[in-house]
Structure 1
């Protein structure tokens, strides 16, 4: 190692606005490879360490702290297969998140505009089941799960579904088609019910999509820095 290649913890820290102690902690956690020590026990870092830190901090927004740390530890161990597996796992999780978001967005889009508006009358369990193309027993099951809130006819005592319940039933049917369990459907419907309509949920999905977009770009940036680090290590 030449003198020009010798870097102190502070040299690595300044690039990222960190403390020198944070750099040393990353080495102790295995995120940076072990640094050689000088005659007085001081750590001597190299451009390889600098790139390892750069890769970790760039990976972190896309893969999370634990995910990025695991990737760097595998790289420092020279285990290229483990590195690739961890990166692929992160992308697979991202793809699942996108799929879940798309299913939720499709469920909202499938709701007819009038589903969120007052309508005349309140259908019975049979009428609503026919409207949705499902069995009446399914509606009763959804009611027990807290997805629907039926009213009782004051004369007959039969179930009647007010406009908000009809809207909730349409949303539940679409989410069920997307494979959502009843517990998650109940939570989504409760949010719509509390907000007074699907508009706030659409806004939440839009914010979720923006976060996924940023995370996807962060994953691209992180893997580029990781690739540079792997080349420096000869992997």
Structure 2
């Protein structure tokens, strides 16, 4: 980023920092109050003055927000401004790990699109199945199906009289998808996310469209992280961390 501050003047007013990013001077003061940029020095008359360190910190924070979100960006910069490098980098690591989990979940959801359009388009149950029958169909135990229900993967109805679980055709489809993904090594929380995507989509076509948008968002977030990490590295170097 081009440095729009005056390189001949090592002291900067709030308006100098604000103008570079198109924000208000109150926003700059708020960021200082919230600890995401270092505290400003004061003139004898009480006016705030900022240095190049503040300018670099503000660039880092504003780049971190679209990459990691407001909460994590603030966590990273608060740790950095107090000199806690380990805490700052740990928050960065968590952000990258979450992006990887999101990519893995997306891969899992995409793996179901073909199943929805082919394998499950054939044999479908007509009458609801009790838990024992569905467990036998899949080759799992009833306890496994109940565990999947607790994880949010399955949402069977209950018989009003007996309170027995009853799995309608969509529930059977979800159970078969879950079984497929479990065999592929996916964890239950990933599979639960897959099921939410499947239920929210009105068929495989809309689901595929939503997944393409999802992948674009993940790519944008990954690119934003690259930019933000560079800005953070600039701050850490300037601060001597």
TM-score tier (shorter): 0.7 to 0.9
Query: Relative to 1, partners in 2 of residues 1:172 and 1:136: Cα closer, same or farther, differing over 3 Å?
Result: same
Mapped pair 1:117 → 2:121: yes
CA contact (8 A) 2:174 2:195 kept: yes
Range that drifts further, 123-132 or 87-96: 123-132
Shift of residue 139 of structure 1?
Answer: 6.7
Q: Equivalents in 2 of 1:67, 1:148: separation in Å?
A: 37
Aligned to 2:73: 68
Q: 2:220 aligns to what SS in structure 1?
A: helix
Q: 1:219 aligns to what SS in structure 2?
A: helix
CA contact (8 A) 1:148 1:165 kept: yes
Shift of residue 105 of structure 1?
Answer: 2.2
Q: Equivalents in 1 of 2:23, 2:71: separation in Å?
A: 19
The Cα offsets for residues 176-235 of structure 1, whole Å up to 9 and x where unpaired, read as 4422259x64x8547645644232222222222211111111111001011111111112
Aligned to 1:174: 180
Higher Cα Rg, which structure: 1
Q: Quote the RMSD (CA, aligned, Å).
A: 3.6
The number of residue pairs the alignment matches comes to: 224
Mapped pair 1:220 → 2:226: yes
CA contact (8 A) 2:67 2:224 kept: yes
Q: Equivalents in 2 of 1:233, 1:120: separation in Å?
A: 63
Range that drifts further, 193-202 or 71-80: 193-202
Q: Equivalents in 1 of 2:207, 2:170: separation in Å?
A: 15
Range that drifts further, 61-70 or 167-176: 167-176
TM-score of the two chains, using structure 2 as the length reference: 0.74
Mapped pair 1:49 → 2:59: no
Q: Equivalents in 2 of 1:220, 1:27: separation in Å?
A: 25
Q: 2:179 aligns to what SS in structure 1?
A: helix
The Cα offsets for residues 28-51 of structure 1, whole Å up to 9 and x where unpaired, read as 111111111112100111111111
Q: Equivalents in 1 of 2:197, 2:102: separation in Å?
A: 19
Query: Relative to 1, partners in 2 of residues 1:188 and 1:149: Cα closer, same or farther, differing over 3 Å?
Result: farther
Matches within 5 A, 1:90-101: 90-101=95-106
Q: 1:22 aligns to what SS in structure 2?
A: helix
Q: 2:188 aligns to what SS in structure 1?
A: coil
Q: 2:203 aligns to what SS in structure 1?
A: coil
Matches within 5 A, 1:1-235: 4-106=9-111, 108-109=112-113, 111=115, 113-115=117-119, 117=121, 122=126, 132-134=138-140, 147=155, 167-177=173-183, 178-180=186-188, 185=192, 189=195, 192=198, 195-235=201-241
